[in-house]
Structure 1
Amino acid sequence: MILEAVMLQVKQGMEEEYEDAFRQALVIISSTKGYISHELHRCLEVKGKYLLLINWETLEDHTVGFRQSNEYQDWKKLLHHFYDPFPTVEHFEKVRFS
């Protein structure tokens, strides 16, 4: 399993509109091959700051399967205009200790 982690800064005053758009976008992401689950967290200290965590089966499910799909274009239309600055997406794998 791969964890996609993104720190998002939503433009001032657009937080409620963003959360509504994100609810719509969930239909897109949750139907994507390899999607497992997600969490969206609102920062308590910084208005408009969010942490998005998405679990994927594989890195390629996100970077190729989703990002190169027609559905990703719909995701972009719904969400990308809210971000300033545009976020950096990073992927993580669990460290296993034996």
Structure 2
Amino acid sequence: MQGKLQRSFSFLENLMANREVSISSVVELGEILRAVRKESGLTQHDAAALCNVSLPFLNSLEQGKPTAQIGKVLSVCSRFGIDVRLRLPGETA
């Protein structure tokens, strides 16, 4: 548990310092969305209303539940100014 918490803290610390981070799981995406929401001073209730999604959906998304609908996920990211990018195989960095 200690290692998981340390990894999560390092992940979010890197995000907030660099404002850019690669993610490899829906859990990491949820952590990012929660951090950005809190940084914006919004409650989950207010953020859900702003993003036009239900409170249970936003809660599940922030908890990293893998069942979230991608369209809604992208909508929430967009409302928080998060640019989602894909790097295709063979693309140079």
Answer 1 or 2: which has greater helix percent: 2
TM range (shorter): under 0.3
**Structure with more relative contact order (C-alpha pairs < 8 Å, separation 6 or more):** 1
TM-score by length of 2: 0.28
Q: TM-score of the superposition, structure 1-length normalised?
A: 0.27
